[in-house]
Structure 1
Amino acid sequence: MIQIGFCDDDPSVLDELHELLGSYRTEHNADIAPTAFQSPFELLASIEKGARFDILLLDVLMPGENGIEAAREIRQYDSNVKIIFLTSSAEFAVQSYTVGAYFYQLKPIWPESFFRLMDSVIAACSRESSVSLILRCRTGITRVELDKLEYCEVIRRSLLLHKTDGTVLEAAGSMDSLCESLAEHRNFLRIHRSYLVNLEHIQTITPKTLVMSSCAELPIPRGRFNDIKDAYLEHAFQKEQVFLT
Protein backbone atom coordinates (compact mmCIF):
# COMPACT_ATOMS: atom_id res chain seq x y z
CA MET A 1 0.00 0.00 0.00
CA ILE A 2 1.21 3.49 -0.92
CA GLN A 3 1.03 5.91 2.01
CA ILE A 4 0.30 9.50 0.90
CA GLY A 5 0.37 12.50 3.24
CA PHE A 6 -0.87 15.92 2.16
CA CYS A 7 -0.47 19.20 4.00
CA ASP A 8 -2.13 22.56 3.35
CA ASP A 9 -3.39 25.26 5.69
CA ASP A 10 -6.49 25.80 3.51
CA PRO A 11 -9.26 23.33 4.47
CA SER A 12 -10.83 23.67 1.01
CA VAL A 13 -7.59 22.50 -0.61
CA LEU A 14 -7.41 19.55 1.78
CA ASP A 15 -10.97 18.62 0.82
CA GLU A 16 -10.08 18.95 -2.87
CA LEU A 17 -6.99 16.73 -2.50
CA HIS A 18 -8.95 14.17 -0.52
CA GLU A 19 -11.56 14.06 -3.27
CA LEU A 20 -8.94 13.85 -6.04
CA LEU A 21 -7.07 11.03 -4.32
CA GLY A 22 -10.36 9.21 -3.71
CA SER A 23 -11.26 9.51 -7.40
CA TYR A 24 -7.79 8.38 -8.43
CA ARG A 25 -7.97 5.38 -6.11
CA THR A 26 -11.36 4.36 -7.55
CA GLU A 27 -10.55 4.93 -11.24
CA HIS A 28 -7.11 3.27 -11.09
CA ASN A 29 -7.93 0.62 -8.49
CA ALA A 30 -4.91 2.00 -6.63
CA ASP A 31 -3.88 0.68 -3.23
CA ILE A 32 -3.28 4.04 -1.55
CA ALA A 33 -3.93 5.41 1.95
CA PRO A 34 -4.18 9.23 2.19
CA THR A 35 -3.67 11.22 5.41
CA ALA A 36 -4.39 14.96 5.70
CA PHE A 37 -2.51 17.56 7.79
CA GLN A 38 -3.49 21.20 8.20
CA SER A 39 -0.06 22.43 9.31
CA PRO A 40 3.58 21.39 8.81
CA PHE A 41 3.95 21.12 12.60
CA GLU A 42 1.20 18.46 12.65
CA LEU A 43 2.95 16.56 9.85
CA LEU A 44 6.41 16.78 11.45
CA ALA A 45 5.05 15.62 14.81
CA SER A 46 3.55 12.57 13.11
CA ILE A 47 6.83 11.76 11.32
CA GLU A 48 8.82 12.22 14.55
CA LYS A 49 6.51 9.64 16.18
CA GLY A 50 7.37 7.14 13.46
CA ALA A 51 4.81 7.69 10.68
CA ARG A 52 6.20 6.81 7.25
CA PHE A 53 4.96 8.11 3.90
CA ASP A 54 5.84 7.14 0.35
CA ILE A 55 4.58 10.43 -1.07
CA LEU A 56 4.05 13.86 0.51
CA LEU A 57 2.11 16.74 -1.05
CA LEU A 58 3.19 19.98 0.64
CA ASP A 59 1.82 23.47 0.18
CA VAL A 60 4.71 25.89 -0.25
CA LEU A 61 3.18 28.92 1.48
CA MET A 62 1.89 28.13 4.95
CA PRO A 63 1.89 30.26 8.12
CA GLY A 64 4.55 29.51 10.75
CA GLU A 65 6.73 27.34 8.51
CA ASN A 66 6.60 27.07 4.74
CA GLY A 67 6.72 23.84 2.78
CA ILE A 68 10.39 24.19 1.78
CA GLU A 69 11.47 24.58 5.42
CA ALA A 70 9.27 21.67 6.47
CA ALA A 71 10.79 19.51 3.72
CA ARG A 72 14.31 20.23 5.02
CA GLU A 73 13.25 18.96 8.45
CA ILE A 74 11.50 15.93 6.96
CA ARG A 75 14.69 15.00 5.10
CA GLN A 76 16.43 14.59 8.47
CA TYR A 77 14.06 11.69 9.19
CA ASP A 78 13.41 10.31 5.71
CA SER A 79 15.68 10.68 2.72
CA ASN A 80 13.46 8.60 0.44
CA VAL A 81 9.93 10.00 0.58
CA LYS A 82 8.76 11.55 -2.71
CA ILE A 83 7.94 15.21 -2.01
CA ILE A 84 5.64 17.13 -4.33
CA PHE A 85 5.12 20.84 -3.66
CA LEU A 86 1.79 22.56 -4.20
CA THR A 87 2.22 26.13 -5.37
CA SER A 88 0.42 28.84 -7.33
CA SER A 89 3.71 30.03 -8.86
CA ALA A 90 6.52 28.18 -10.66
CA GLU A 91 9.06 30.56 -9.05
CA PHE A 92 9.51 28.03 -6.23
CA ALA A 93 10.57 25.27 -8.61
CA VAL A 94 14.32 25.85 -8.16
CA GLN A 95 14.00 25.98 -4.36
CA SER A 96 12.00 22.77 -4.39
CA TYR A 97 14.85 20.81 -5.95
CA THR A 98 17.27 21.88 -3.20
CA VAL A 99 15.39 19.54 -0.86
CA GLY A 100 15.19 16.70 -3.35
CA ALA A 101 11.61 17.31 -4.47
CA TYR A 102 10.11 14.87 -6.94
CA PHE A 103 8.04 17.54 -8.70
CA TYR A 104 5.71 20.47 -8.06
CA GLN A 105 2.00 20.77 -8.77
CA LEU A 106 0.65 24.15 -9.80
CA LYS A 107 -2.58 25.48 -8.33
CA PRO A 108 -5.39 25.44 -9.27
CA ILE A 109 -5.10 21.66 -9.48
CA TRP A 110 -6.56 20.14 -12.63
CA PRO A 111 -7.57 16.46 -12.29
CA GLU A 112 -5.95 15.43 -15.58
CA SER A 113 -2.49 16.78 -14.70
CA PHE A 114 -2.79 15.60 -11.09
CA PHE A 115 -3.66 12.05 -12.20
CA ARG A 116 -0.70 11.99 -14.62
CA LEU A 117 1.56 13.10 -11.78
CA MET A 118 0.15 10.38 -9.51
CA ASP A 119 0.73 7.77 -12.24
CA SER A 120 4.36 8.84 -12.47
CA VAL A 121 5.19 9.05 -8.77
CA ILE A 122 3.37 5.83 -7.81
CA ALA A 123 5.15 3.98 -10.62
CA ALA A 124 8.47 5.32 -9.30
CA CYS A 125 7.61 4.11 -5.79
CA SER A 126 6.68 0.67 -7.11
CA ARG A 127 9.92 0.33 -9.11
CA GLU A 128 12.02 1.29 -6.12
CA SER A 129 10.18 -0.95 -3.67
CA SER A 130 10.79 -4.01 -5.88
CA VAL A 131 14.57 -3.62 -5.78
CA SER A 132 15.14 -1.96 -2.42
CA LEU A 133 14.57 -2.33 1.30
CA ILE A 134 13.19 0.40 3.55
CA LEU A 135 14.74 0.42 7.00
CA ARG A 136 14.08 2.30 10.19
CA CYS A 137 17.61 3.16 11.35
CA ARG A 138 19.05 5.36 14.06
CA THR A 139 19.69 7.99 11.39
CA GLY A 140 16.07 7.90 10.22
CA ILE A 141 14.17 6.04 7.51
CA THR A 142 16.57 4.81 4.82
CA ARG A 143 16.13 3.01 1.52
CA VAL A 144 18.85 0.48 0.67
CA GLU A 145 19.22 -0.79 -2.89
CA LEU A 146 19.43 -4.57 -2.66
CA ASP A 147 22.32 -4.92 -5.09
CA LYS A 148 24.37 -2.70 -2.75
CA LEU A 149 23.61 -4.80 0.33
CA GLU A 150 26.57 -7.13 0.87
CA TYR A 151 25.60 -8.96 4.06
CA CYS A 152 23.70 -8.57 7.32
CA GLU A 153 24.58 -9.71 10.82
CA VAL A 154 23.21 -9.68 14.33
CA ILE A 155 25.53 -8.60 17.14
CA ARG A 156 23.93 -8.86 20.56
CA ARG A 157 20.52 -7.31 19.84
CA SER A 158 21.63 -5.05 17.00
CA LEU A 159 20.83 -5.77 13.34
CA LEU A 160 23.71 -4.48 11.20
CA LEU A 161 23.52 -4.14 7.43
CA HIS A 162 26.80 -3.90 5.54
CA LYS A 163 26.70 -2.08 2.20
CA THR A 164 29.18 -2.50 -0.64
CA ASP A 165 30.54 1.02 -0.11
CA GLY A 166 31.61 0.14 3.45
CA THR A 167 28.65 1.84 5.13
CA VAL A 168 27.13 -0.05 8.06
CA LEU A 169 23.52 0.67 9.02
CA GLU A 170 22.04 -0.27 12.38
CA ALA A 171 18.38 -1.08 11.94
CA ALA A 172 15.38 -1.95 14.06
CA GLY A 173 13.96 -5.46 13.78
CA SER A 174 15.20 -9.02 13.86
CA MET A 175 17.09 -11.28 11.49
CA ASP A 176 13.96 -13.43 11.16
CA SER A 177 11.85 -10.47 9.99
CA LEU A 178 14.62 -9.31 7.62
CA CYS A 179 14.84 -12.78 6.06
CA GLU A 180 11.06 -12.81 5.66
CA SER A 181 11.17 -9.43 3.90
CA LEU A 182 13.81 -10.69 1.46
CA ALA A 183 12.35 -14.18 0.96
CA GLU A 184 11.34 -13.54 -2.67
CA HIS A 185 14.84 -12.35 -3.57
CA ARG A 186 16.72 -15.56 -4.33
CA ASN A 187 20.19 -14.00 -4.14
CA PHE A 188 19.98 -13.69 -0.33
CA LEU A 189 20.90 -16.72 1.77
CA ARG A 190 20.91 -17.15 5.52
CA ILE A 191 24.12 -19.08 6.22
CA HIS A 192 23.92 -18.88 10.01
CA ARG A 193 21.40 -17.73 12.59
CA SER A 194 23.35 -14.47 12.79
CA TYR A 195 24.30 -13.94 9.11
CA LEU A 196 22.44 -13.27 5.87
CA VAL A 197 24.56 -12.85 2.74
CA ASN A 198 24.05 -11.56 -0.79
CA LEU A 199 25.26 -14.39 -3.05
CA GLU A 200 26.31 -11.77 -5.61
CA HIS A 201 29.06 -10.58 -3.29
CA ILE A 202 30.65 -13.87 -2.24
CA GLN A 203 34.33 -14.03 -3.15
CA THR A 204 35.43 -17.40 -1.72
CA ILE A 205 33.83 -20.38 0.04
CA THR A 206 35.85 -22.79 2.18
CA PRO A 207 34.58 -25.51 4.52
CA LYS A 208 34.83 -23.15 7.50
CA THR A 209 34.72 -19.62 6.11
CA LEU A 210 32.87 -17.54 3.56
CA VAL A 211 34.79 -14.51 2.28
CA MET A 212 32.80 -11.56 0.94
CA SER A 213 33.93 -9.09 -1.73
CA SER A 214 34.89 -6.63 1.02
CA CYS A 215 37.21 -9.35 2.43
CA ALA A 216 34.94 -9.80 5.46
CA GLU A 217 35.21 -13.39 6.70
CA LEU A 218 32.00 -15.01 7.94
CA PRO A 219 31.91 -18.36 9.77
CA ILE A 220 30.21 -21.37 8.16
CA PRO A 221 28.51 -23.59 10.76
CA ARG A 222 29.49 -27.23 10.98
CA GLY A 223 27.65 -29.29 8.39
CA ARG A 224 26.45 -26.30 6.28
CA PHE A 225 29.33 -26.09 3.78
CA ASN A 226 27.76 -28.31 1.10
CA ASP A 227 24.36 -26.60 1.31
CA ILE A 228 25.91 -23.14 1.04
CA LYS A 229 28.22 -24.20 -1.80
CA ASP A 230 25.32 -25.76 -3.73
CA ALA A 231 23.15 -22.65 -3.26
CA TYR A 232 25.97 -20.45 -4.51
CA LEU A 233 26.66 -22.63 -7.57
CA GLU A 234 22.96 -22.81 -8.45
CA HIS A 235 22.76 -19.02 -8.23
CA ALA A 236 25.87 -18.69 -10.43
CA PHE A 237 24.43 -21.07 -13.06
CA GLN A 238 21.16 -19.14 -13.13
CA LYS A 239 23.16 -15.96 -13.71
CA GLU A 240 24.96 -17.73 -16.59
CA GLN A 241 28.34 -16.97 -15.11
CA VAL A 242 31.44 -18.53 -16.68
CA PHE A 243 33.06 -21.54 -15.00
CA LEU A 244 36.57 -22.81 -15.55
CA THR A 245 36.81 -26.60 -15.10
Structure 2
Amino acid sequence: MDVLIVDDEPLARERLARMVDQLDGYSVVAQAGDSASALTAIAHHDPDVVLLDVRMPGDDGVTAAHRIGELEDPPAVIFCTAFDEYALDAFGTQAVGYLLKPVRAEQLLEVLEKARTPNKLQKRAQQNRHPAGKERSHISAKTPRGVELIPLDSVRYFMADQKYVTVYHDRGEHLLDDTLKELEEAFGDRFLRTHRSVLVSVNHIQAMERDNEGHYQVRLADTDHRPPVSRRHASALKELLQKI
Protein backbone atom coordinates (compact mmCIF):
# COMPACT_ATOMS: atom_id res chain seq x y z
CA MET A 1 0.00 0.00 0.00
CA ASP A 2 1.22 3.50 -0.87
CA VAL A 3 1.37 5.99 1.98
CA LEU A 4 1.46 9.81 2.01
CA ILE A 5 2.82 11.47 5.17
CA VAL A 6 1.57 14.98 5.99
CA ASP A 7 3.22 16.85 8.86
CA ASP A 8 4.74 20.33 9.13
CA GLU A 9 7.71 18.96 11.14
CA PRO A 10 10.36 17.34 8.89
CA LEU A 11 11.75 15.21 11.72
CA ALA A 12 8.29 13.84 12.49
CA ARG A 13 7.77 13.00 8.82
CA GLU A 14 11.10 11.22 8.58
CA ARG A 15 10.44 9.18 11.73
CA LEU A 16 7.07 8.02 10.37
CA ALA A 17 8.62 7.30 6.98
CA ARG A 18 11.24 5.02 8.53
CA MET A 19 8.55 3.16 10.46
CA VAL A 20 6.34 2.69 7.40
CA ASP A 21 9.21 1.53 5.19
CA GLN A 22 10.09 -1.17 7.72
CA LEU A 23 6.64 -2.72 7.37
CA ASP A 24 6.06 -5.39 4.73
CA GLY A 25 3.67 -4.30 2.01
CA TYR A 26 3.83 -0.55 2.74
CA SER A 27 5.89 2.22 1.19
CA VAL A 28 6.00 6.01 1.46
CA VAL A 29 5.38 7.58 -1.96
CA ALA A 30 5.44 11.24 -0.88
CA GLN A 31 5.60 13.70 2.02
CA ALA A 32 3.91 17.06 2.50
CA GLY A 33 4.22 19.85 5.06
CA ASP A 34 0.76 21.43 4.78
CA SER A 35 -2.79 20.75 3.60
CA ALA A 36 -2.43 22.36 0.19
CA SER A 37 0.69 20.33 -0.59
CA ALA A 38 -1.08 17.21 0.65
CA LEU A 39 -3.95 17.61 -1.83
CA THR A 40 -1.45 18.18 -4.64
CA ALA A 41 0.46 15.03 -3.62
CA ILE A 42 -2.77 13.01 -3.54
CA ALA A 43 -3.62 14.11 -7.08
CA HIS A 44 -0.13 13.20 -8.31
CA HIS A 45 0.67 10.00 -6.38
CA ASP A 46 -2.82 8.59 -5.70
CA PRO A 47 -1.89 7.01 -2.32
CA ASP A 48 -3.92 4.35 -0.53
CA VAL A 49 -3.44 5.96 2.89
CA VAL A 50 -2.71 9.45 4.24
CA LEU A 51 -1.00 9.80 7.62
CA LEU A 52 -2.19 13.26 8.61
CA ASP A 53 -1.13 15.67 11.35
CA VAL A 54 -3.76 17.97 12.90
CA ARG A 55 -1.93 21.20 13.74
CA MET A 56 -0.31 22.62 10.62
CA PRO A 57 0.13 26.02 8.97
CA GLY A 58 -2.87 27.08 6.88
CA ASP A 59 -5.79 24.67 6.96
CA ASP A 60 -5.55 22.21 9.83
CA GLY A 61 -5.64 18.46 9.40
CA VAL A 62 -9.35 18.13 10.19
CA THR A 63 -10.20 20.59 7.41
CA ALA A 64 -7.83 18.75 5.07
CA ALA A 65 -9.50 15.43 5.92
CA HIS A 66 -12.90 16.85 4.99
CA ARG A 67 -11.51 17.98 1.64
CA ILE A 68 -9.90 14.61 1.04
CA GLY A 69 -13.26 12.99 1.77
CA GLU A 70 -14.86 15.06 -0.99
CA LEU A 71 -12.59 13.53 -3.64
CA GLU A 72 -14.08 11.08 -6.10
CA ASP A 73 -11.87 8.20 -4.98
CA PRO A 74 -10.58 9.20 -1.53
CA PRO A 75 -7.64 7.51 0.19
CA ALA A 76 -8.03 6.35 3.77
CA VAL A 77 -7.04 8.95 6.40
CA ILE A 78 -5.21 8.20 9.65
CA PHE A 79 -4.49 11.06 12.03
CA CYS A 80 -1.08 11.18 13.73
CA THR A 81 -0.94 13.96 16.30
CA ALA A 82 0.39 14.88 19.73
CA PHE A 83 -3.00 16.27 20.81
CA ASP A 84 -5.90 14.10 21.90
CA GLU A 85 -8.48 16.91 22.12
CA TYR A 86 -9.12 16.72 18.37
CA ALA A 87 -10.24 13.09 18.40
CA LEU A 88 -13.98 13.85 18.26
CA ASP A 89 -13.58 16.25 15.35
CA ALA A 90 -11.26 13.80 13.61
CA PHE A 91 -13.69 10.91 13.69
CA GLY A 92 -16.34 13.24 12.28
CA THR A 93 -14.30 13.09 9.07
CA GLN A 94 -14.67 9.28 8.80
CA ALA A 95 -10.94 8.80 9.42
CA VAL A 96 -10.04 5.15 9.98
CA GLY A 97 -7.66 5.83 12.87
CA TYR A 98 -6.26 8.34 15.35
CA LEU A 99 -2.71 7.79 16.61
CA LEU A 100 -1.06 9.83 19.35
CA LYS A 101 2.59 10.77 19.02
CA PRO A 102 5.05 9.30 19.63
CA VAL A 103 3.57 6.65 17.36
CA ARG A 104 4.58 3.06 18.11
CA ALA A 105 5.26 0.60 15.33
CA GLU A 106 2.70 -1.98 16.47
CA GLN A 107 -0.03 0.68 16.71
CA LEU A 108 0.84 1.99 13.26
CA LEU A 109 0.69 -1.48 11.72
CA GLU A 110 -2.65 -2.21 13.37
CA VAL A 111 -4.34 0.89 11.99
CA LEU A 112 -2.73 0.51 8.56
CA GLU A 113 -4.13 -3.01 8.36
CA LYS A 114 -7.53 -1.55 9.25
CA ALA A 115 -7.15 0.91 6.36
CA ARG A 116 -7.05 -2.02 3.92
CA THR A 117 -10.82 -2.34 4.40
CA PRO A 118 -12.65 0.23 2.24
CA ASN A 119 -14.16 3.06 4.28
CA LYS A 120 -17.68 4.40 3.77
CA LEU A 121 -16.62 7.01 1.24
CA GLN A 122 -14.65 4.47 -0.78
CA LYS A 123 -17.55 1.99 -0.73
CA ARG A 124 -19.91 4.69 -1.92
CA ALA A 125 -17.54 5.55 -4.77
CA GLN A 126 -17.30 1.88 -5.75
CA GLN A 127 -21.09 1.48 -5.71
CA ASN A 128 -21.54 4.54 -7.91
CA ARG A 129 -19.37 2.97 -10.59
CA HIS A 130 -22.01 0.39 -11.46
CA PRO A 131 -25.37 2.17 -11.67
CA ALA A 132 -28.49 0.53 -12.94
CA GLY A 133 -30.17 1.66 -16.13
CA LYS A 134 -29.42 2.05 -19.81
CA GLU A 135 -25.99 3.35 -20.72
CA ARG A 136 -25.35 6.09 -23.24
CA SER A 137 -23.80 5.03 -26.55
CA HIS A 138 -22.33 8.47 -27.37
CA ILE A 139 -20.89 11.47 -25.60
CA SER A 140 -21.22 15.07 -26.73
CA ALA A 141 -18.22 17.37 -27.16
CA LYS A 142 -17.98 21.02 -28.12
CA THR A 143 -15.79 21.49 -31.19
CA PRO A 144 -15.09 24.38 -33.60
CA ARG A 145 -17.81 22.87 -35.81
CA GLY A 146 -20.35 22.86 -32.97
CA VAL A 147 -21.52 20.01 -30.74
CA GLU A 148 -20.41 16.60 -32.01
CA LEU A 149 -21.49 13.15 -30.90
CA ILE A 150 -18.58 10.77 -30.30
CA PRO A 151 -19.34 7.02 -30.24
CA LEU A 152 -18.15 5.36 -27.06
CA ASP A 153 -16.70 2.53 -29.14
CA SER A 154 -14.20 5.01 -30.61
CA VAL A 155 -13.03 6.33 -27.23
CA ARG A 156 -9.65 5.14 -25.96
CA TYR A 157 -9.55 7.03 -22.67
CA PHE A 158 -10.62 10.07 -20.66
CA MET A 159 -8.13 12.21 -18.74
CA ALA A 160 -8.88 14.92 -16.20
CA ASP A 161 -6.66 17.95 -15.70
CA GLN A 162 -7.94 20.13 -12.86
CA LYS A 163 -11.43 21.29 -13.96
CA TYR A 164 -11.30 19.89 -17.49
CA VAL A 165 -11.72 16.41 -18.96
CA THR A 166 -10.35 15.49 -22.38
CA VAL A 167 -11.66 12.55 -24.40
CA TYR A 168 -9.12 10.80 -26.63
CA HIS A 169 -10.73 8.92 -29.51
CA ASP A 170 -9.91 7.60 -32.96
CA ARG A 171 -10.52 10.97 -34.61
CA GLY A 172 -8.57 13.13 -32.17
CA GLU A 173 -9.27 14.71 -28.81
CA HIS A 174 -11.86 17.13 -27.42
CA LEU A 175 -12.77 18.81 -24.16
CA LEU A 176 -15.93 17.65 -22.39
CA ASP A 177 -18.37 19.26 -20.00
CA ASP A 178 -18.70 15.99 -18.07
CA THR A 179 -16.60 15.35 -14.98
CA LEU A 180 -14.59 12.16 -14.66
CA LYS A 181 -16.92 11.03 -11.89
CA GLU A 182 -19.98 11.53 -14.10
CA LEU A 183 -18.37 9.57 -16.91
CA GLU A 184 -17.45 6.72 -14.58
CA GLU A 185 -20.96 6.56 -13.19
CA ALA A 186 -22.59 6.76 -16.62
CA PHE A 187 -20.57 4.07 -18.39
CA GLY A 188 -20.27 1.41 -15.70
CA ASP A 189 -17.98 -1.46 -16.66
CA ARG A 190 -16.96 -0.11 -20.08
CA PHE A 191 -14.17 2.01 -18.60
CA LEU A 192 -11.62 1.24 -15.90
CA ARG A 193 -9.99 3.79 -13.62
CA THR A 194 -6.23 3.36 -13.82
CA HIS A 195 -5.35 6.60 -12.05
CA ARG A 196 -7.19 9.26 -10.10
CA SER A 197 -7.31 11.32 -13.31
CA VAL A 198 -7.75 8.58 -15.95
CA LEU A 199 -10.47 6.23 -17.24
CA VAL A 200 -9.48 3.84 -20.03
CA SER A 201 -11.64 1.82 -22.41
CA VAL A 202 -11.70 -1.81 -21.27
CA ASN A 203 -12.15 -3.05 -24.84
CA HIS A 204 -8.95 -1.32 -25.97
CA ILE A 205 -6.61 -2.38 -23.16
CA GLN A 206 -3.70 -4.49 -24.40
CA ALA A 207 -1.11 -4.53 -21.62
CA MET A 208 0.37 -2.79 -18.60
CA GLU A 209 3.97 -1.64 -19.03
CA ARG A 210 6.62 0.40 -17.26
CA ASP A 211 8.20 3.52 -18.70
CA ASN A 212 11.92 4.39 -18.50
CA GLU A 213 11.44 5.73 -14.97
CA GLY A 214 9.67 2.60 -13.76
CA HIS A 215 6.16 4.09 -13.68
CA TYR A 216 3.23 1.95 -14.77
CA GLN A 217 1.32 2.85 -17.92
CA VAL A 218 -1.36 1.13 -19.99
CA ARG A 219 -0.94 0.22 -23.65
CA LEU A 220 -4.12 0.74 -25.67
CA ALA A 221 -5.03 -0.43 -29.15
CA ASP A 222 -4.61 1.93 -32.10
CA THR A 223 -2.87 4.74 -30.24
CA ASP A 224 0.65 5.65 -29.17
CA HIS A 225 -0.67 7.33 -26.03
CA ARG A 226 0.22 5.59 -22.78
CA PRO A 227 -2.09 6.76 -19.96
CA PRO A 228 -0.61 6.44 -16.45
CA VAL A 229 -1.45 3.69 -14.00
CA SER A 230 -1.05 4.45 -10.30
CA ARG A 231 0.14 1.67 -8.03
CA ARG A 232 -3.13 2.02 -6.16
CA HIS A 233 -5.08 0.92 -9.26
CA ALA A 234 -2.49 -1.43 -10.76
CA SER A 235 -3.91 -4.53 -9.06
CA ALA A 236 -7.36 -4.01 -10.62
CA LEU A 237 -5.77 -3.66 -14.06
CA LYS A 238 -3.64 -6.79 -13.53
CA GLU A 239 -6.74 -8.71 -12.50
CA LEU A 240 -8.57 -7.56 -15.62
CA LEU A 241 -5.67 -8.50 -17.89
CA GLN A 242 -5.67 -12.02 -16.47
CA LYS A 243 -9.26 -12.40 -17.65
CA ILE A 244 -8.66 -11.10 -21.16
Partner of 1:232 in structure 2?
A: none
- In the alignment, the residues of structure 2 paired with residue 106 and residue 12 of structure 1 have an alpha-carbon distance, to the nearest angstrom, of 16
| Aligned 1:179-198 pairs, distance under 5 A | none
Verify the 8 A CA contact 1:7 1:38 in the aligned structure 2: yes
State the 1:39 CA deviation.
1.9
The answer to whether 1:173 aligns with 2:199 is: yes
State the 1:153 CA deviation.
5.1
Partner of 2:17 in structure 1?
A: 18
**1:78-129 residue CA offsets vs partner (Å, 9 max, x unmatched):** 453111111223221110122221111111111121122222223x159x99
Q: Secondary structure at the match of 2:126?
A: strand
State the 1:73 CA deviation.
2.2
Verify the 8 A CA contact 2:81 2:100 in the aligned structure 1: yes
Partner of 2:41 in structure 1?
A: 46
- Which residue of the other structure, out of 126, 132, 145, is the alignment partner of 1:144? 126
| Aligned 1:69-218 pairs, distance under 5 A | 69-78=63-72, 80-122=74-116, 124=117, 143-145=125-127, 148-150=130-132, 154-155=137-138, 156=150, 157=155, 159=183, 161-162=185-186, 172-176=198-202
- In the alignment, the residues of structure 2 paired with residue 160 and residue 34 of structure 1 have an alpha-carbon distance, to the nearest angstrom, of 26
The verdict on how the C-alpha distance between 1:78 and 1:13 changes in structure 2, with shifts beyond 3 A counting, is farther
- In the alignment, the residues of structure 1 paired with residue 118 and residue 238 of structure 2 have an alpha-carbon distance, to the nearest angstrom, of 20
State the 1:160 CA deviation.
5.1
State the percentage of identical aligned residues: 20
State the 1:145 CA deviation.
3.4
Verify the 8 A CA contact 2:128 2:185 in the aligned structure 1: no
State the 1:38 CA deviation.
1.7
The verdict on how the C-alpha distance between 1:154 and 1:8 changes in structure 2, with shifts beyond 3 A counting, is farther
Count how many residue pairs are aligned between Structure 1 and Structure 2: 162
State the one-letter code of the partner of 1:145. Answer: Q
Q: Secondary structure at the match of 2:40?
A: helix
Structure 2-normalised TM-score?
0.53
The verdict on how the C-alpha distance between 1:10 and 1:102 changes in structure 2, with shifts beyond 3 A counting, is same
- In the alignment, the residues of structure 1 paired with residue 80 and residue 72 of structure 2 have an alpha-carbon distance, to the nearest angstrom, of 20
Structure 1: gaps spanning 5 or more residues:
133-141, 165-170, 189-245
Q: Secondary structure at the match of 1:108?
A: coil
State the 1:19 CA deviation.
0.6
Verify the 8 A CA contact 2:4 2:29 in the aligned structure 1: yes
The verdict on how the C-alpha distance between 1:18 and 1:178 changes in structure 2, with shifts beyond 3 A counting, is farther
State the 1:150 CA deviation.
4.0
State the 1:6 CA deviation.
0.8
Q: Secondary structure at the match of 2:102?
A: coil
Verify the 8 A CA contact 2:21 2:27 in the aligned structure 1: no
Partner of 2:142 in structure 1?
A: none
State the one-letter code of the partner of 1:74. Answer: I
- In the alignment, the residues of structure 1 paired with residue 52 and residue 82 of structure 2 have an alpha-carbon distance, to the nearest angstrom, of 12
The verdict on how the C-alpha distance between 1:51 and 1:19 changes in structure 2, with shifts beyond 3 A counting, is closer
State the one-letter code of the partner of 1:119. Answer: E
Structure 2: gaps spanning 5 or more residues:
139-149, 156-166, 168-182, 189-196, 207-235
Structure 1-normalised TM-score?
0.53
The verdict on how the C-alpha distance between 1:147 and 1:15 changes in structure 2, with shifts beyond 3 A counting, is closer
Partner of 2:233 in structure 1?
A: none
- In the alignment, the residues of structure 1 paired with residue 185 and residue 27 of structure 2 have an alpha-carbon distance, to the nearest angstrom, of 29
